[in-house]
Homo-oligomer: A and B are copies of this chain.
Amino acid sequence: MISESASGILYMIPLPVADGVIDTLSPAVAAHTEHIRHYFVENVRTARRFLRRLHAALVIDDITFSLIDKHHGPDLALLRTWLAEGKQVGVMSEAGCPGIADPGSILVSEAHRVGARVVPLSGPSSLLLALMASGLNGQSFAFNGYLPVKEPARGKALKEYEDRSAKENQTQIFIETPYRNNHMLQDFIRHLRPATRLCIAMDVTGPCEEIATHTVADWKKLSVSLEKTPAVFLFLV
């Protein structure tokens, strides 16, 4: 379709969402990581452990890892060099699909700019799995990342997302750091309409996976205490 220049390929490589649960990955992940020797990773320790788990015979010291630094961003000059040399380059985030809910898209954008091919490999995404199992609208949805931490911005944002959900029949998806799960639920109960349906998907694909959808009014009555596990929050008016 489009003429390309840099002959390298950038592979977007998913990791398990729940620690060590590798039967959620597609076989394509093991097939490609057997050969890739150049990686951009969010966490070097996680990446090494993951590759050792997939390939017992792999010599990890032959592999170069470049850290996606949260403050300085990834080393784009190194990416350009690798792609110009025709190398296969992998991108791995801490968990789940790289480029989703993380800053990995900067690398992809640069790969497109120099005309390299970008190949996404199939694997688990907690956002998508939560949406599939929520019973909420999967024909129109938005992922909004984190809510503002402080009031009144937090409540105001929630009400705006709820208005949009009502107007457009659009499922609204959020994440939160695990230790704030209970605060998040209380804020949803405080700010959202009683009839709004709220899904909380906890430890998706993990041993304590629990995905429940109730109205906000019913969540209030249940007065549950959420575990401090990674969770996805979704609602639809």
A120–B232 CA distance with the chains assembled, in angstroms = 14
Are the CB atoms of B123 and A26 closer together than 8 Å? yes
Q: How many chain copies does the complex carry?
A: 2
Q: Which residue of B lies closest to A25 (CB)?
A: B26
Mask for A198-237, Cβ within 8 A of B = 1, else 0? 0000101100011111100000001010110000000000
- One of B100, B122, B222 near A138 (C-beta < 8 A): B100
Report if A134 contacts B (CB, 8 A). yes
A128–B127 CA distance with the chains assembled, in angstroms = 10
Q: Which residues of B contact A43 (CB under 8 A)?
A: none
- One of B97, B102, B120, B142 near A204 (C-beta < 8 A): B120
Report if A182 contacts B (CB, 8 A). no
Are the CB atoms of A122 and B119 closer together than 8 Å? no
Mask for A74-87, Cβ within 8 A of B = 1, else 0? 00000000000000
A232–B203 CA distance with the chains assembled, in angstroms = 29
